[in-house]
Structures are given as C-alpha cells and as structure tokens.
Chains A and B, each alone.
Chain A
Amino acid sequence: MSLDNEKIIEEFTVESQEHLADVENDLLAIEAAGADIDLDLVNKVFRAVHSIKGASGFLGFTTIGELSHSLENILNLIRNKELVPTSAIVDALLRAADALRGLINDIHHSNEADVSEHVDALKKVIAGETSQSVRDSLEQMVRIGEPGRPAFEVSKHTLETQKRFGNHLYTLEFDLIADVEDKGKTPLNLVKELMALGEMVEARLDLANCEAGLDGEIPDTISFVVLFGTVVDVEMLADAFELTPERVHSIDIEDALPVPAEAESHRREETEKAVDTPVPPDVPAAEPKKEVSATAAGASPKPAETNIRVSVGLLDHLMNLAGELVLSRNQLIQYVSSGRLDGLESIASQLDQITSELQESIMQTRMQAIGTVFTKFPRVVRDLSGKLGKQCELTLTGKEVELDKSIIEAIGDPLTHLVRNSIDHGIERPDQRTAKGKNATGTISLKAFHQAGKVNIAIQDDGAGINGDKLKEKAVAKGLITSDQAHEMSERDAVRLIFHPGFSMAEVVSDVSGRGVGMDVVKTNIEKLGGTVDIDTEVGVGTTVQIKLPLTLAIIPSLVVRGGEDRFAIPQVNISELVRIRPNEVARKIERVKDAEVLRLRGNLLPLLRLSTAMGMQSKYLDPQPAELKDSHRERIVDRREPDDAAVVEHEKSRSGTPRRQNTAAGALNIIVVEAGHLRYGLIVDALHDSEEIVVKPLGRHMKDSPCLAGATILGNGNVALILDVAGIASKSQLSAPEEDTARGEKVSGESVSDESQSVLLFTNDPSEQFGAPMGLITRIERIRSEQIDSVGGQEVLQYRGSTLPLLTLESQIKAKPRPEQPKLYVVVFSISGREVGLIAPQLVDIREIPAEMDAVTFSEPGVLGSVIADGKTTRLIDLFALAEKAHPEWFADRQSVETTQGETPTLLLVEDSGFFRSQLTSFMESEGYQVVACEDGLVAWGTLQDPEQCFDLVVTDIEMPNMNGLGLARKIKGDPLFAHLPIVAVTSLASEEDIQRGFEAGIDDYQIKLDREKLVASVARHLKAAKLKAGVTAEQPATGIRS
C-alpha cells in the first residue's frame, strides 16, 4: 500500500500511545465512580479509543480496528447510561486496553495477533449487562447508502446513539490524493480534523484502487468514504473539508432506522437464541481467561521511547547558548592565533559559564516527572489486591519530582516489584487485619521527594512487617550465613538479608513475587542507577523501602582522591564527611577490633578500610608515627543539609591541603566517611585532591563485573580516573556496620535527666580556655591566614571572595584571654539577620555531642549560654546571637516587634524537658514580647492545654521527652478539633530529614534548631500570622469584611 509508509505509522503509534497513556487511570476512575457516571471522563476515553479506531482503519491495521471498535461499543453504552460500569466490566475494558497497547507497541505484527478473546469478553459484557432492547438494537444491522453510492452497514444502536446526540449523519467522500496529499496533509491529519468536528461512525478505504498503485504507478485517486456523525450542517461541513457539495451526502436517520415493531420482535427470538443460550449472562464468565490476557499484556514488548517533548523556550535557550559558545570559540581561536595571553582568562571563564549553563539546560531536557512511572501503580495495586483477596489503598505523592529520563525508564521495574511485594507479603488479608485491630483496607504509599540533591522514593505499607529472626533462620537453613553470624547479626542487618541473592521473602513461593526475581535484583538494578536501597520494618506495623536515586546519571559532583598511585573519584552523594587525623592522634583515635581498624568518631565506632588495600594496590603512604601530644583538631566538613556550603569548604580543604603535603607524608590520615544505605564507614585515602564535577563514562565489558567500580571519568589532565562504588567496596571487603554505629547520634555521657545531646564544635581561643559553639548554627568553617584579616575602624573583617566578612573575636565580647598570634586560624561562619558573620576560632579541637543540661549560672554573662565539662575541660558554650547582638546592636534595630494588633500578647505553650533549654527558650521568647507558659513534657502540656483559663496561640515543643514526646503531643493536638488550629513549631538539637518527615506527618508545622534563636523567632512569628489569617477568614462574617 502506498499509504502504508513508516512515517505515518510511527506518527500513529506515538499518538495512540499518548491516547492510551491516560486510559488506564481514567478507567479506574470510571470504575470508582460506579453508577454515578462522569460523562466527561467516559467521553474522553471514548474519544481516545475512537481516534485509534479511526486511524487504524486507514492504515490497514484491522486487528487494532476490531479491538478498538469493541471497546468503543462498551464505552458508548456507558456514556449512554445503558451500562453501569461494574468492576467486572472495567476489568474487561482494562484488559482490552492492555491488549490494544500491546498491539500498538508491536504494530507491524498487530494484524497477526489474536484478539478474539478480548472481543468476545467485551461482547459478553454487552450480552450480560445490557437490557434486551439495547442488545437487539446492537445486533440489528442497518444498511445505509443510496444505490450507486458506497454503502455502510451499521447497527441500529449506532444510529440511535447519533440521533440521541442530535447529530446529523453524512457520508463524506474524500480523495486521499487530491484532498489530502496534494494539500500537504497526511491521512492522520484528516482523521484528526474529522474527530474535531464529530464522530467517524464508519470509514472505508477503497483498497482496490490502492493495490493498482503497487505497479509503480501512483493512482490518480484513492477514495475514502466516511460515515460521519456531527451537529454541523451540510454547508459548513463541505466548507470545513473543502469538499464539493456532491461529495457530502446527508442521511436521514429516521429514514434509515428500520420500522420498529415487527422487526424488533422478529429479531428478538433470534438474538435470544444466539446470545443468551451459549453465554451465561454473567460477566465474570470472562474470568478464566484472565491469566492469558494478563501475561499477554505483560509480555508485550515495551515501547522504546525515541521521542521526548521539550518546551520551545528551553530549545531557544539552548540555541542561544550554542550561539554564545560559537562566539567564545571564535574569540578563543583569535586569541590563540594572535599569541596574546592577557585576555585569555576572561574567555576561559566565559567558556566555563556557557558550558555549565549548556550542561544544565541539556540536563533539563532529559528531566521527566516521576508521575509517568507512578501512574501505572493504581492499576497494579487494584489488579493484584483483587487477585489476592486483599484490600489495598494506594496513595501517591510527589508525582512532579523530576528525574533523568534514563532513570525514569529504568526505575519502573524495581518499583513494580516492590509494590507487588508490599501487597503480596506486606498487607495482610482483611480478616487478619481486622483481627489485629487494623483497618481492613491496607495502605500502600509511594512517595517521591528531593533530599540532599537526591531523589528519594519511599514505598511504605502498613502491613505485617518483616520478622528479622525468621529471615535469619531461613538464611541459616539455606546456608547463606552461619548460625554464629546469625547470632551476631543486628536486627537491621537481618532484615537486609532479603537483599541477599536467592532469598525469597514469601514463605510459600507465590506466583506473584516468588518468580525468581528477588529483592537482590531490585537492589542490583537500583545500584546500577547509582542509587541505594534500604529497608526499615517493624513487625505488625509495616515496612518502608527507601530508595535514593541521583537526579541524573551523566554528571555527578565528586571528590577526587588518591589511593596508591592512581586517582579515584568518589561521588559526593556518598560522602558524609572528611576526617583528618594527625599523626599524633592516630594511636589514640584508631582502634583495632578483631583485626579490623575502627575510628572512634564522636563516641561511635566507624569501621575503616584502606582504599589502596581494597583496590589491591600498594599504599603510597608512610607509616604513622605516634609522637608527642599536641592539640588535636578535626574538621567537620560537611553539613549535610547544605550541600553547597559543603562543597565550598571541601574545596577550601583541598586547597589548604596542598601546602601541607609534608604533613600528609608524615602520617596524617585522611579518612572519608562514606555512606551507602545504612552502611557507613571510613575510607582511608592516600591523598585528597579537588572536588570536581565528573562526566560518567561506562566501563567496557571486560570490567563489567568489578564490584568496586561504578564507572570511569576523564580528569582535567586527560587521565582516566575510576569512580568508586562505595557499597561495592564494602561488600567486597565484607564490611558490615558495627552495632554501635547504627545507633548513631547516641549521647556520650548520660548524666543528665534529658536524653538529648547537643552537637558542639569545641575550640580554644587562648589554648587554656575551651569554648563550644552549637554545630546546628554553623554554616561552615574557613581556614584563613592571619594577614587576610583587616582592621577597619576598629572592626575586624575578612577579605573573602571579593567581599568582606565581619569578624567577631571572643576577647572583645566576653571575658576571655586574647588569642595568641599565629599564622593561620579558623573562622566559624554563621548567619544572622540575613548576613554572614565569622567568629575567630584560632584552634579547633573537636566536634562533640555534649549533654543538653549545663550549668547556666557560673559563667553567666551575655554571649555565654552556660558551661559544661567536655574532655575534662570546662567549656563555655557561646551564644552566637547574643555575641553578635552585643557587638553590632544596630543589626537588630529594625527587627520586627511581636504583632499585637488585637491588643493581646500572643501566648506560647513551650514544652521542653531540659531545664536548661526550657529557661533559654522562655527567655528568648519573652524577650521577643511573647507570653510563655512552659511545661516539662507532653503530658503536662496536654493537661495545661485543657485548662479553660488559658488560651494559647502557638505551641513550641521539643521532640524527645519522657511520658509523652513531641510527636505524640502533636498528634493529640491535631487530632482534637478544639486545638487542631494551633500551629506547632518543633525544636530539636539536630534533626535528620527522616525525623522531620515523621514530624510533619504527626502534624508539626515547622522544625527549628533550639539555639537558632533568630530562625525560631521568625518561624513563630510566621506561623502566628498565618494562623491569625486563617482564623480571620473562617471567623469573620462577610459583612464585617466589607465594612473594614
């Protein structure tokens, strides 16, 4: 067929796929609506199927035409309200739509496919669910057409439908050569135009004429006749399609309809025999074939996505950038040929900027919303839970989160597997759930969100959870681990056994998830994408699988290090911090536990690996020599919540690292604390180099099996560097997290009543006096030369990246001995009132967790919070805000006072178990003009809330508290209609993203760090204002609104 060219078919395929993309969810929505039919939705699906039918007729895809026609029939009945969409009907529709998608994905073999099963199933739906008269009118065929004209056979029902819609019926005669091709259109355009105006009831292509065209001669005319139903009148129609009047024939529906009475009774007998007898009028009769169709749909080849939609704006931007790139190149060539070097720098920076922008924009074109993957899950959950006799509800959040196209494409299968697992193994059967006191309907939630430059996907169910002991038993029975190992294994590691190859979670291997693809495959696949997967479970409560994925695979920020003679790149996402241990500290900080080196880091044990050993190379490193005692110092480099700053400091670190090379040679250890899933360990490297954005290149097939490597990259000097796979190195070295490490964040000394501790940077001003500053407030730490400090008008400032950073010194603000003269010192940078301030900290000591309880009396003065004993030394904890306020009261002059528009002072309920923080926070808030009622735990607070005498405007609460913690309190408050309106601001020492997430789920409105006075005050003010606005909207009468 001459029309049958690839381009048109491709267009058809792409369009049909688009049409079908939403059909599934629309059908599910139709099912959910039940008898309360949403006509718009049904029409949408109908039109989607209808377009496919229309176009397939053209292209000679008869099977697709047949199937879409059957689908269309049912949808037509639904929109005529002659059929109520039941679960069984939607089932049949879904399966047919699947089959249709399968046909379209494999378009060239579509005509050979057998769809009779689906067509029959759909016919049975009609037979079983519709009234006799409807069936009759469907069965009864009517011939339309005048003698000598092309004729159509359509069912009486079709005619009646057209009539009901108030459509006129026409036959339109097109000539595909003159009317379409000569006008530069494709047949698909024509179909689209037709669809826009009405419905193509039937269409016929004069194939006889086309075949003649095969002889090499292009036929003069190809006739294409359409039976068209539309509200448009004949002239307009002729106009719209530029058809001469004689090619548009109006058909009188009334005339065409057969005489009702006798014809109907006559047909009835026949149809009853034909339809009712052989087929049970019950739709579930279609069920037995379910398996076949399900597999058929599953096995159909995946459509390879070859097209991607890019906004024109973005494309224009790319074009502009390309233009700039060319200009810069020309400039560069000119400079190089002229031999001048003076302006080269500016060209280089220009090129640098254009390249980065170009890279970013190109990445954008590849970003797609994860919603495209998520949308298939409602169906998966529906089908599978139905099959297993379970009740599941699916919630999807974060559909708009964008990921690189390649990741989107690859993540579908692992996610499907996890969701299936949740239904199959997680969610219990309704009776079991009710017996346990749970809601009979289980909940599965799929959540995507950004976190620390990665995309997280959480698959959470409230099912049975996983029993770690059972897994252990099974693993021992299977010989995967020894019973000794099992004995030593932590609960967490035990649960992780399900990622072990050859481990199926189901006790009985079911056909749903136990088909040889286990969680290990999921893990491998996710890791291939540069992601990590971990599992969190509680028996009886549920399971959460957490996947972390990079935004893109192609370019990743990473740190370049040296191990042996070679350089390696470690993806920044795996790095949690850098630790440098001086030679004299090595002996004290590094311990040996059963042949393994561990680092004592802030009270926890961190397993260590030597990169060169792990890579099977000779370490180019001199032996550490334990020597005389000096001040210890360690830098905490990465504040995980602020990746940008982390990179900055790292850069600083690597820069400052270079001149200290001798130091390195003398045995200082550079340890990179890396994280992969819940595994955390220290990687000892021989040297640190720059942090670079690297372009990931795949490794050849000879190195595919190397577990330690994630790929390769080309460095600035042209050499190839290998990219390390942190998780792979750990598993190759058989490293597992020591127990102590998993309990990260535990306090060091448990003297205080409070269970909390505060992460504090310890430093000295004069070496004899130790100070501490809360880590949570510190933005970053800079190492500077003392000559970089300028004194301007009595104020010390740091010349820093083209601007100045005001510096504070301790001795000028509080009672402290002056700092000694030294060539290099550290500056602790924090931000206050929107500006950055540096505190000179000549010598850093360590980062420590110190108890929250401290002596607030002995060293009481503005700028000092209190004192604690750390490392056997009295340490004064600095109040950075008070310090700044003391030094620069003018910065705080314009601070807003508390809004007391209603003439009342807002009252805060402060809940905090630590006496120290309670008094700190009370004084913070009172100095801001609030009235504060303080309680020592959630239970007391709840009691106070009930007091009718008191009226609160906002709750500020700690999280970790005895009796009732902050989360419990938040849930109680938000669950009580009396108090649900109260904003809740939580204060913590240092919360992880997971904690914050949990808090939000409990109803907490905001999280702030306890000692970050400024942000806390701002947050309280903001939430009070928001609450007031909300209350105003609901409480005020419209009349008063107008008056005011």
Chain B
Amino acid sequence: MSTAVETSQAHAAGEAEIATFYVGNQLMGVNIQQVQEINRHVKVTAVPHALDCVRGVINLRGEVVTVVDLRTILGLEQTEISDQSRNVIVKSRDEKIGLLVDRIADVESIRTEETEPPPANVSGVDGRFFKGIHKLESELLVILDVEEVLSTEGNEP
C-alpha cells in the first residue's frame, strides 16, 4: 500500500502529458494515459431514448463504443459535426467511451505542480468537471476529470 501512494505522489510532482482539444473556444485536455486513441467522427448509430449527451454508438474494431458529446455534458449547445470533429476514445472503468470534441490540438507536457485548482466555473462550465487549470504560454488549459465527465448521474438537466 505505502509504495503505491509514494509512486502516485512522485508522479504528481513530475511531468504529465496531456492530450488537448477544443470544446468551443476552450482548450481542454485529459491525461494521455487515459486516452486510447483519437478517431474521426464517422458513422454513428443514434440510440433512441438514451441520455441527451449520448450521440450514439460506433464500431471500434468490433467493439461497440458509446460516443458522448462533451459539449452537451458541459452544458453547452450540441456539437455540430465538422471535418475537424474527433472522438477522443478514453478508457473509464473498463469501458471505452468516445468524447466528441470540436477539434484536436497538441499533446502538451506540463509540470503537474504548476497545475492550479479549478475555479468554480470556466467559460460558463461547472468547475466540478475539472481537475485543474494549467497556464500555457498563450492560453489556459483546462484539465478534465474524465470520471466526473462520464458519470451517468447528475449530468442531465
């Protein structure tokens, strides 16, 4: 037990790589460890009577994967699909889930100790979805709490 805690602390103090993307005009990111792959948003099968945030399901090499609209979850209007739309496939509680984002950006290496706790709200989005905020040279990077984003409770109005 004690060793596990130590490693995670060591990790927290070190560097982390964050896969970043835009949701609206806001740069957001998740730890690259959690990202399985990033796909074009292609053929999605709509799921009737599902939660509003569910865009549908896709065939990811034989696996049926749910795609959720990150914008809807964050309380913004629905994402409009464009050439730049991407699904960021993350692994959460042993399930692969696609996060639909507007546009993908770089992988940023950040020093975790420089991450600041999130304010109550960023560009109109509830702060509970954020793990922290990181100041990049040109803009702010919001680091998402994937589990909170994908929680099926309380995200729906």
Q: Which residues of A does B touch, CB under 8 Å?
A: 566, 615-617, 697-704, 706-709, 712-714, 718-722, 732
Contact = CB atoms under 8 A, between A and B. Distances in A.
Contact of A617 (B48, B59, B65, B68): B48
A129 to B, nearest CB: 51
A566 B65 contact: no
Nearest to A611: B48
Contacts of A720: 45, 56-59, 64
Contacts of B59: 714, 718-720
Nearest to A696: B64
Given A697-B64, A714-B62, A703 B54 contact: yes
B45 A698 contact: no
Contacts of A702: 50-51, 53-54, 66, 68, 97, 150, 152
Q: 6 nearest interchain CB pairs?
A: A700-B66, A615-B48, A720-B45, A697-B64, A712-B64, A720-B57
A719 B48 contact: no
B86 to A, nearest CB: 18
Given A712-B64, A714-B64, A719-B43, A700 B48 contact: no
B27 to A, nearest CB: 25
A720 B58 CA distance: 6
A182 B43 CA distance: 62
Interface string B1-24: 000000000000000000000000
A703 B68 CA distance: 11
Which has the most chain A C-beta neighbours within 10 Å: B51, B53, B58, B64?
B64
B47 interface: yes
Contact of B49 (A708, A712, A713): A708
A617 B63 CA distance: 25
A707 B47 CA distance: 12
B98 to A, nearest CB: 10
A700 B49 contact: no
Given A714-B59, A720-B57, A699 B49 contact: no
B49 to A, nearest CB: 5
Interface in B31-60: 43, 45-51, 53-54, 56-59
Given A700-B57, A700-B95, A701-B95, A706 B64 contact: no
Contacts of B43: 718-719
A345 B49 CA distance: 42
Nearest to A695: B62
Given A702-B66, A714-B62, A721 B49 contact: no
A722 B44 CA distance: 12
Contacts of B63: 697
A720 B66 CA distance: 11
B59 to A, nearest CB: 5
A699 B49 CA distance: 13
30 contacts: A616-B49, A617-B46, A697-B64, A699-B47, A700-B57, A700-B64, A700-B65, A700-B66, A700-B95, A700-B97, A701-B152, A702-B50, A702-B51, A702-B54, A702-B68, A702-B152, A703-B47, A703-B50, A703-B66, A706-B49, A706-B50, A708-B49, A709-B48, A714-B59, A718-B59, A719-B43, A719-B45, A719-B59, A722-B47, A722-B57
Contacts of B64: 697-700, 712-714, 720
Given A703-B57, A707-B49, A720-B57, 8 more contacts: A700-B57, A700-B66, A703-B47, A703-B51, A712-B45, A718-B43, A720-B56, A732-B49
Nearest to A720: B45
A1042 B63 CA distance: 70
Contacts of B93: 701
A695 to B, nearest CB: 9
Contacts of B58: 720
Most interface-central of A697, A700, A707 (chain B CB within 10 A) = A700
A615 B95 CA distance: 25
A708 B57 CA distance: 15
Contacts of A699: 47, 57, 64, 66
Contacts of A617: 46, 48
Contacts of A722: 45, 47-48, 57
Given A698-B64, A720-B57, A709 B47 contact: yes
A721 B45 contact: yes
A616 B48 contact: yes
B40 to A, nearest CB: 14
Interface string B71-96: 00000000000000000000001010
Contacts of B68: 702
Contacts of B150: 702
Nearest to B93: A701
A689 to B, nearest CB: 15
B48 to A, nearest CB: 4
A700 B65 CA distance: 7
A616 B49 CA distance: 7
A734 to B, nearest CB: 14
A243 to B, nearest CB: 46
Contacts of B53: 702
A712 B48 contact: no
A713 B51 CA distance: 20
A699 B67 CA distance: 11
A747 B62 CA distance: 50
A831 B46 CA distance: 46
A61 B59 CA distance: 50
Interface string B90-125: 000101010000000000000000000000000000
A712 B56 CA distance: 11
A713 B64 CA distance: 7
B99 to A, nearest CB: 12
Most A Cβ at <10 Å: residue of B47, B53, B62, B95: B47
Nearest to A711: B64
Nearest to B48: A615
A712 B57 contact: yes
Contacts of A703: 47, 50-51, 54, 57, 66
A868 to B, nearest CB: 46
Contacts of A707: 49
B47 A706 contact: yes
Given A714-B59, A720-B64, A566 B45 contact: yes
A902 to B, nearest CB: 67
A701 B66 CA distance: 9
Nearest to B92: A701
Contacts of B48: 615-617, 706, 708-709, 722
Contacts of B62: 714
B95 to A, nearest CB: 6
A617 B48 CA distance: 8
Nearest to B57: A720
B50 to A, nearest CB: 5
A719 B49 CA distance: 19
A362 to B, nearest CB: 16
A615 B53 CA distance: 17
Nearest to B98: A700
Nearest to A614: B48
A225 B135 CA distance: 72
